[in-house]
Each structure stands twice: as C-alpha cells, then as structure tokens.
Amino acid sequence: MLNPNEVLSARDAFFRHVALTSDAPMGIEIDYAEGPFFYDTNGRRYTDFISGIAVSTLGHRHPVVLDALRSQLDRHLHVMVYGEFIQRPQSDFARLLTSVLPESLDRIYFVNSGTEANEGALKLAKKHTGRSKLIAFRNSYHGDTHGSLSVTGRDVYRDPYLPLLPDVHFFDFNDPAVFEAFDSETAAVILEPIQGEGGIIPAKKAWLQSVREACTKAGACLIFDEIQSGFGRTGRLFAFEHYGVVPDILCMAKAMGGGMPVGGFAASSRLFEAFMYDPPLNHVTTFGGHPMSCAAGHAALQFTLENKLWERAPSIEKQIREGLDLPGVVEIRGRGAMLGLVLPDFDTTRAVVERCLAHGLLLGWTLHSNTLVRLAPPLIIEDEVLQDAIAILRESILACQS
C-alpha cells in the first residue's frame, strides 16, 4: 500500500501517479498563468503560442472570466443533471450564443468537451434521419472517444481500437470524389472547415458549398466540427462564416469556456426533437453545461463580441507571415490565428520547437504531422509580445537550418 503521508513533489507524483499519454511529456511545472504568458515553478516565463491548443483565445485568467466565476461560485455549483433545472448561466449562455449564430441553429446542447460534442452530433444526426451511414475525411481529428474516433481519419490512432463504428466512409478532404457517396442511407457528413490536427488545411470554398448542396439533396445532416476553429480564431466568430455555408449541426468546445471545460452542439429545435422523444432522455449527461463553465463561457463570449476579438486575427496572421518570410520555411498554412508553419523535415521542426522553448516560446505540433509547427496565439496578444515571439521564431528557424 502507498503511504499517504509520504511527501512527494508535484513532479514525482505526476510521473508516478498521473496516467501519462506519452513517454516524453514536456513536464513544465506550472506556477501561474496570466494573459499570453504562463510561468513555471522556477520563475521562468513562457509566451503561450498555442493557447492550450486553441483554448485560451482571451489569454489566461482573463478578468471578465474570473469575475463571472467568482460571482457564480457564490450562487451554486452542480445541482442537477443537464436539462432538468433552469440554470441561469446555461440559459444566458445559450441565448447569447444562438443570437450570433444563423437562425437555423437556435438551440445548444451543452456537454463537457469537444469529443463529447461530436458524439452527440453524430447521435443526433442518426436519430433524426433514422440512418446510419456516415461520411468523414482522411486526416480529420474529431476526438478520442469511440464515436469520434470512428470518424477520425488517421489509421495509426484507429487501428488499436478496431472495430469502431461500422458504415463510416472516408474520402480525401477537398476531393469531389465524395459526391458519389451520397445516397438515401446517408445520415451525416462530419468535417472541420479548417482541418486542425491534420495540418491546418482549409476547405475549398466551392467544394464546401457543394458538400452543403449534396447533404441537402440527400437529406443528410452536415456537421461542422469547429472545436478548434471557433470563437474568433480564424478571423470570424466561426470559420463557416468565411464560406457562406451553414451546417445543420455545429460542434464547439475548447475556447468556448474561456479556459473552463465546456462544449456544445448547436442545431435547430426541429432536429433536437430527436433527443426529446422515443424514448425521452435518450441522450443525457450529468455535468454538461456546468454552471461555472457556462458563466465563464458567457463572459468570454460577451467580451469577444463587445471587442470584436476576431478582427484581431488577420493582423496576427499578417505579422506572422511577414516576419517568417524566410528561406527554410516551406509554407505557412491556415487563416487568422490558426496557422501552421511547414518546415522541411522532422529534425528541423523538432530543433526549432525545442530552441523556441529554450527561449521561452511555447509552440507545438499537430497530431497528424511532424513537419508542421502549430501557431495559435491568444487573440488578446499585444503587438509587442507578438513581435518578440516572431523574433524568437525567426532566430530559431535561421539557426536550425541544416
């Protein structure tokens, strides 16, 4: 038996008792975080250029989020499973969010995470259509629970868990070949308007518009996974606004809670009837839309809207593109503050990421690519901090050229 009185450092406890997801975690011990920075327990400051993977769009511990949390803390925490009681933070957040979405997306089902939003969206599409066939794309990433993994297009992550959901059909992203797959059995198409983990790959506008038309014609639901691209990151509140295409179901999470865990999927009242009847309570969650998370999310969204935070994204993109127009940079892909820097090979990419970290700049990878550096700073980042980060990147790219 373990001795509960044995004093362990946080580091030792982490490495001995927290389940790890790789044998080489970064292992930075966090002391505190504020704005675009976080600090480790040695007093080192880091600029966060990945925003906790597209979460901290408002930076860390934004004052409006902290105020909302404090005031909710004095009212109530969890009281009842999702969907039974009227809880003001949930209702207010749903009201505000639907007010800025297209009219057809007039309800939100709150969950706890991104993958759970996708799970719910897939179930909603299946129940609403009474069909089971799903269309998804290679190099997509939709989460690691079984349903989301079933529509994630990367075999190396899927193979250890086979069999997954049947009747999922994969196509290349942006490939018109997908149009041959639509039929009267198709329940849904799920895609990211800008693939994130696949290496920051935007959908082509005409192709996405045709996917919308094909869904409408086949009576299938179009599901957009905007878990990574949502809440201003690409220069619009949601990436679908760049395309003039409205999904039937919109999945959200990550930045949605201003740093607190919450996800959700939006759809029409008509679609959501599928969850109300035959039988009632056929899709429920205990913690979905936790009052603390919804209070934080509401405050974060209000701040985002009042300050039109998405308008900051094009300037961030411009500064990054100009600052990193260097020999050795193969390409910068993406939109706004959802960018991917492509370097020539894995060794250079790793060396650049490590060198930047040594200089106090946190960058990261995407799951499906090892020559692409994720650039996703908080939208509140000031020009001076942004320019300092770009200077570190420049210096590192030039120093690491082989």
* Residues forming the site for ligand PMP (CB under 6 A): 53, 113-115, 118, 141-143, 192, 196-197, 225, 227-228, 253
> Cα(19)–Cα(17) distance, rounded to whole angstroms?
6
Angle, in degrees to the nearest 10, between helices 313-323 and 383-399: 30
Separation of alpha carbons 355 and 362, rounded Å: 10
Is 40 or 144 the residue whose CB approaches ligand PMP more closely? Answer: 144
Nearer Cβ to ligand PMP (227/339): 227
Tokens describing residue 187: 């329940």
How many residues would you count in the chain? 402
CB contact at 8 A, 258 and 230? no
Decide whether 192 or 317 has the Cβ nearer to ligand PMP: 192
Q: φ, ψ for residue 271 (rounded to 5)? A: -65, -40
Cα 368–chain centre separation? 15
Helix H, strand E, coil C: the string for 320-371 is HHHHCCCCCCCEEEEECCEEEEECCCHHHHHHHHHHHHHCCEECEEECCEEE
Q: How far is the CB of 228 from ligand PMP (least distance, A)?
A: 4
* Cβ proximity to ligand PMP, 53 vs 353, nearer residue: 53
Tell me the residue type at 15: F
| Nearest distance from C-beta of residue 64 to ligand PMP, angstroms | 22
Choose between 121 and 389: whose C-beta lies nearer to ligand PMP.
121
Identity of the residue, 227 or 300, whose beta carbon is nearer to ligand PMP in the bound complex:
227
**Residue 257 Cβ vs ligand PMP, minimum distance, rounded to whole Å:** 10
Closer by beta carbon to ligand PMP, 87 or else 115:
115
Taking CA atoms, 52 is separated from 72, 154, 195, in Å, by 24, 23, 17
Q: Choose between 86 and 156: whose C-beta lies nearer to ligand PMP.
A: 156
CA distance 128 to 117: 16
Task: Output the smallest distance, CB 240 to ligand PMP, in A.
Answer: 13
Q: How far is the CB of 273 from ligand PMP (least distance, A)?
A: 26
Tokens for 129? Answer: 């259509």
**Minimum distance between the CB of residue 188 and ligand PMP, rounded to whole angstroms?**
15
CB of 9 to ligand PMP, least distance (A): 28
How does strand 201-202 pair with strand 194-195?
antiparallel
Here the contacts of 150-157 (C-beta below 8 Å, separation 24 or greater) are: 151/118, 151/122, 151/190, 153/198, 154/198, 154/367, 154/368, 157/367
Q: How far is the CB of 306 from ligand PMP (least distance, A)?
A: 26
CB of 53 to ligand PMP, least distance (A): 6
Q: Is 367 in contact with 141 (CB distance < 8 Å)?
A: yes
Closer Cβ to ligand PMP, 136 or 361, answer by number: 136
Residue of minimal Cβ distance to ligand PMP: 114
